[in-house]
Structure 1
Amino acid sequence: MGSCENQEFECKKQKPLLIEGPIIVGAGPSGLAVAACLKNNGVPSVILERNDCLASLWQQRAYDRLKLHLPKQFCELPLFGFPENFPKYPTKHQFISYVESYANHFSIKPIFNQVVEKAEFFQSIGLWRVKTQDFEYFSRWLIVATGENAEPMRPEIAGIEKFDGTVVHTSRYKSGSDFGNQRVLVVGCGNSGMEVSLDLCRHNASPYMVVRNTVHVLPREVFGFSTFGIAMALLKWVPLRLVDKFLLLAANFTLGNTDRLGLKRPKTGPIELKNATGKTPVLDVGALSQIRSGKIKVMNGVREITKSGAKFIDGQEKEFDSIILATGYKSNVPVWLKGSDFFTEDGLPKTPFPNSWKGEKGLYTVGFTRRGLLGTASDSLKIARDIADQWRTIKDTKNICNSQIALQM
């Protein structure tokens, strides 16, 4: 078997490759972050990426007007910050350039177009085997970095196959310019649903946003300060429930009563709900004002899609030209990771944060904390330290063995 450290090699199909360091599955921000932290600790790694680029979710599946919802200091990857000239909330293209600069800075070269078909631990040899369409890779360590948002979530909606117009998931939505002057049904009211609806308004479309459940809407900033930043600062000194009360008071003061707009709040506070379920509060960037003006219309749940529109659970029926599914993403880990009970059926670690980063037999996860890039940075540093300790032990053992052999010759 031969070692393999980057994509600049050629091998015969299905040739087994023994990787000296960890195998990382996924070349998004999580995979790059853990690779950089490993390199900083003197440990090489190999990243396998199914697409042909870094951060494919951002490059191929993000809409044009997307910006970071949090200030850049909360979204930095470990060991390498954003450029100082970047705005407080970097754009999609600025974030992509940052990710590419990050990879260049640490000389990280993923192996692209490698779809992991199966990964499993072989007890007899103490190694993980990761099989792609081209090769079989073996390593002591496997790092799952595909994240919580690997595949679009497409809910079953009665009658949607009958609809004559365009149906598109937000993963394929780029701009409202494609929907100018159309009546558009937006299914979902999270950050994506709100921003897509706002984008549609700015291109003279008429969005109807479906709100199926309760939702927390918070101001992105309070008196010029990041709401998230204030919450993080308070959590160091104040109990979580008091911080939630502060956030709701600030929201009511700046945004008013969202219940009157058809956006009913959950009984559980925004941070407590996020920690328990992963459901992120919406940070308003202008959609609420369009809802108040009537340009974005809030609708109850869909009962059935018809040939020309939709019937709603409150009895209304309306015609639409297009439907946009702002229904989020899901993990794909159960599809390819076999023989491990570390993940749930939904593809998330069973062990809650902050201990979700490490499994058994050399299995690690990064990007599954439900805490965004802050969680990614934290887990990457932990994983790198843990593997580096093992790496040094293995190296020391090899050096001792080599020295003993040399003395006997």
Structure 2
Amino acid sequence: MPPPMDPTFEDLFSGRCILVNGPVIVGAGPSGLAVGAGLKQQGVPFVILERARCIASLWQNRTYDRLKLHLPKQFCELPYHPFPKDFPEYPTKHQFIDYLESYARKFEINPRFHESVQSAKFDETCGLWRVKTLSNDNSTIEYICRWLVVATGENAEKVVPEFEGLQEFSGNVLHACDYKSGEAYQGKSVLVVGCGNSGMEVSLDLCHHNAIPSMVVRSSVHVLPREIFGKSTFEFAVKLMKWLPIWVVDKTLVAAARLILGNVEKYGLKRPSTGPLQLKNTEGKTPVLDIGALKKIRSGKIKIVPGIKKFSTGKVELVNGEIHEIDSVILATGYCSNVPSWLKENEFFSRDGFPKSPFPNGWKGKSGIYAVGFTRRGLSGASLDAIRVAQDISKKWQKEMVCNKKCKSHF
């Protein structure tokens, strides 16, 4: 088989097929950019496919205006390029977007935008991946490559649960990914469904805009202070993990949270029996890092309510029988992976769209498939996997180039 063509080579067969001399990376978020940067430094060509019109579309298009990074910047920077020194400890979303755009410019990463991957399948006959995309103009392209990097991440699609009567509700309903600001909700009664970081912060933002939020808490949740003894809670936990087993660190975090935040259970926020770090590792449930919502809950400005039984016109009935009149509903119900919808493979990824092998072994599969951004450990976990993936592909690519040169020299 002749060596693959350069990725910039024009489309073959009437614009329907491109042979890629290197990997295809699906997703131009932080994970995909980090892999691209690593490959660029090794001289490995690649193609990044992105369904949106920009890099980091989750950050640019599906986050609220007041968002800041939950962790200190040193735990959120991508490989080979630190944050600017003048950035605050917790950069805003706009600062983070600026950082990612400067990252793409520095490493000359130019994704192919408006290309939505419809399917990716390994062709056993030729030993190559066939990645089919659909563009905005409904044209299709098939990319053929030796390696496939899945970098669409844990939060590719919003999760919208079904609720009885929601179609009959006369007010505004939107997912948290479409929420930008509480400005339009001033004086309105808003039901926020979900009590994770998004639910807490959306409720807090609504308070800042003089709305009247009620937050649905159906299950237990860990609420931790963002800082403990003047240090980031995450940084504090990381340092303890170097010396202590996870269950001891969990008990320490819960004890510190109770000391700093008090007994949150009396406000309707029941703590899980499993510790925050262990719960994150086993079920992917991130603890809430409080930035002010708890104060509003204590004061009654954010009301905690139980699960939903059904909606009706302008009202919601809760599982405890209470009926509340509400103007709007914001679904802070999370996100999920979309990998099962397009990846035609069932050995490496599970049905829920995550690698079957847990961190730190879920970055590499068989037949040249890799995954970045599925560690449930945020940007720091994605960065670790991106470095591994770029190094592994670079070694294989360099070896194949040497073999191709030797083959050519015999003719």
Smaller-chain TM-score bracket: over 0.9
Structure 1 partner of 2:137: none
1:277-316 paired onto structure 2 within 5 Å: 277-316=283-322
Residue 265 of structure 2 corresponds to residue 259 of structure 1: yes
The CA deviation at 1:3 is 3.6
Structure 2 partner of 1:106: 107
Counterpart residue identity of residue 280, structure 2: K
- Indicate the SS of the match to 1:86: coil
The CA distance in 2 between the partners of 1:13 and 1:260, in whole Å, is 66
The CA deviation at 1:39 is 1.4
Offset from partner CA, 1:54-108 (integer Å, 9 cap, x none)? 0000000000000000000000101101000000000010000000000000000
The CA deviation at 1:117 is 0.6
Counterpart residue identity of residue 67, structure 1: K
The CA distance in 1 between the partners of 2:232 and 2:191, in whole Å, is 31
The CA deviation at 1:225 is 0.6
- Indicate the SS of the match to 2:215: strand
The CA distance in 2 between the partners of 1:77 and 1:94, in whole Å, is 14
The CA distance in 2 between the partners of 1:10 and 1:352, in whole Å, is 38
Q: 1:383 aligns with which of 381, 389, 398?
A: 389
Structure 2 partner of 1:160: 166
Structure 1 partner of 2:32: 31
Residue 193 of structure 2 corresponds to residue 193 of structure 1: no
The CA distance in 1 between the partners of 2:286 and 2:327, in whole Å, is 29
1:6-85 paired onto structure 2 within 5 Å: 14-85=15-86
The CA distance in 1 between the partners of 2:346 and 2:45, in whole Å, is 25
Residue 278 of structure 2 corresponds to residue 272 of structure 1: yes
Structure 2 partner of 1:94: 95
- Greater shift, 313-322 or 385-394, is seen at 385-394
CA contact (8 A) 1:208 1:297 kept: yes
CA contact (8 A) 2:6 2:45 kept: no
Counterpart residue identity of residue 87, structure 1: P
Offset from partner CA, 1:116-166 (integer Å, 9 cap, x none)? 011100011110000012311000000000001000000111111110000
- Indicate the SS of the match to 2:295: helix
The CA distance in 2 between the partners of 1:38 and 1:291, in whole Å, is 47
- Indicate the SS of the match to 2:122: strand
RMSD: 1.4
- Indicate the SS of the match to 2:115: coil
The CA distance in 2 between the partners of 1:148 and 1:366, in whole Å, is 10
The CA distance in 1 between the partners of 2:168 and 2:328, in whole Å, is 13
Structure 2 partner of 1:220: 226
The CA distance in 2 between the partners of 1:114 and 1:13, in whole Å, is 17
CA contact (8 A) 2:7 2:19 kept: no
Residue 123 of structure 2 corresponds to residue 117 of structure 1: no
Counterpart residue identity of residue 228, structure 1: F
Structure 1 partner of 2:143: 137
The CA distance in 1 between the partners of 2:108 and 2:398, in whole Å, is 22
Offset from partner CA, 1:326-366 (integer Å, 9 cap, x none)? 00000000100013332111111111111000111000000
- Indicate the SS of the match to 2:410: helix
Residue 234 of structure 2 corresponds to residue 234 of structure 1: no
5+ residue gaps in structure 2?
135-139
Residue 398 of structure 2 corresponds to residue 392 of structure 1: yes
Structure 1 partner of 2:378: 372
Q: 1:337 aligns with which of 343, 346, 368?
A: 343
5+ residue gaps in structure 1?
none
TM-score (norm 1): 0.97
The CA distance in 1 between the partners of 2:254 and 2:360, in whole Å, is 26
Counterpart residue identity of residue 118, structure 1: S
Q: How many residues align?
A: 404
CA contact (8 A) 1:278 1:370 kept: yes
TM-score (norm 2): 0.96
Check 1:9–1:20 CA distance in 2 against 1; reply closer, same or farther (3 A cut).
Answer: same
CA contact (8 A) 2:11 2:17 kept: no
CA contact (8 A) 2:133 2:141 kept: yes
The CA deviation at 1:45 is 1.0
- Greater shift, 395-404 or 288-297, is seen at 395-404
The CA distance in 2 between the partners of 1:161 and 1:104, in whole Å, is 45
- Indicate the SS of the match to 1:392: helix
Residue 174 of structure 2 corresponds to residue 173 of structure 1: no
The CA deviation at 1:175 is 0.2
